Amino acid sequence: MTAPATSRPRGTTAPAWRADPYALALRAGRGPLYLHRSDGWLLPLDVERWCAGTDAADESVLTRCRGAVLDIGCGPGRLVAALAERGRSVLGIDVSPAAVAQTVRRGGTALCRSVFDPLPGERRWNTVLLMDGNIGIGGDPAALLERIARLPAAGGRLLVEAAPVEVDERCEVRLDDGRGTLGTPFPWARTGRGALLRHAENTGWRSVRSWTVTGRHFAELVPATPPTTASAGTPSSPGVTP
pLDDT for residue 233: 46
Summarised one tens digit per residue, pLDDT across range 16-64 is: 555 578 999 999 999 999 999 999 999 999 999 999 999 999 999 999 9
In a domain, 81, yes or no: yes
In a domain, 17, yes or no: no
Q: Per-residue pLDDT for 242 more than 60?
A: no
Q: Per-residue pLDDT for 82 more than 70?
A: yes
Distance CA 89, CA 69 (A): 6
**Domain membership of residue 70 as a residue range:** 55-173+190-223
pLDDT for residue 18: 58
* SS3 of 3-62: CCCCCCCCCCCCHHHCCCCHHHHHHHCCCCCEEEECCCCEEECCHHHHHCCCCHHHHHHH
The phi, psi pair for 166, rounded to 5°, reads -80, 105
In a domain, 110, yes or no: yes
- pLDDT band of residue 237 (cuts 50, 70, 90) is very low
In a domain, 33, yes or no: no
Distance CA 2, CA 162 (A): 19
pLDDT for residue 1: 34
Task: Tell me the average pLDDT of the chain.
Answer: 89
In a domain, 140, yes or no: yes
In a domain, 14, yes or no: no
Q: Per-residue pLDDT for 88 more than 90?
A: yes
Q: Cβ contacts of residue 11 below 8 Å, gap of 6+?
A: 138, 139, 186, 187
Instruction: Summarize the confidence of residues 117-121 as an average pLDDT.
Output: 96
- pLDDT band of residue 15 (cuts 50, 70, 90) is low
Q: How many residues does the chain have?
A: 242
For residue 208, count other CB atoms closer than 10 A to its CB: 10
pLDDT for residue 60: 98
Summarised one tens digit per residue, pLDDT across range 190-206 is: 999 999 999 999 999 99
pLDDT for residue 225: 82
- The total of structural domains in the chain comes to 1
In a domain, 212, yes or no: yes
Beta bridge partner(s), residue 209: 220
Report the CATH number that the domain containing residue 141 is assigned in CATH.
3.40.50.150
Distance CA 175, CA 151 (A): 29
In a domain, 141, yes or no: yes
